[in-house]
Amino acid sequence: TKVTGELMWWLDGPLAERWKPYCLISSNCQHYSHELQLVLRNKERLDDVKKDFEVVMGAVLNDGLHLELASEELRNNRKIVLAAVRENGSALQFASSALKTDVHVALAAVQRDGWAIKFV
């Protein structure tokens, strides 16, 4: 579902950037639980994160398919899209129409995954 996808994106992106190893003394598990509750209760907070260049870049470097959950503006950002398709060629399907036909972007996607040609 979309909510599950957004949650996974948050785990790989914003949370992963601030993640600290579990520490029984500092109650890291409670901090994680608190962060998770904030995200689930406040969709606007997640929407703001989807517009953050650094967060989205980190997410697509980890899994190019996270491009699907990026803001429309960032799906039209050449650096973000190139990073995504270099990690997973199939991420091309989530790029803006303009970038799907960009020669360098399409080539990077197809070099990573030949089946990505169907998204050009």
Least confident of 8-17, 28-37, 54-63: 28-37
> Where residue 106 falls among pLDDT bands split at 50, 70, 90?
very high
Greater model confidence, 65 or 35: 65
pTM, to two decimals: 0.69
The span from the CA of 94 to the CA of 119, in Å, is 9
Q: Taking the domains of the chain in order of start, what are their residue ranges?
A: 2-119
Q: How high is the pLDDT of residue 89?
A: 98
3-state secondary structure of 106: helix
> Where residue 18 falls among pLDDT bands split at 50, 70, 90?
low
Q: What is the DSSP letter of 95?
A: S
Other beta carbons less than 10 A from residue 118's beta carbon: 10
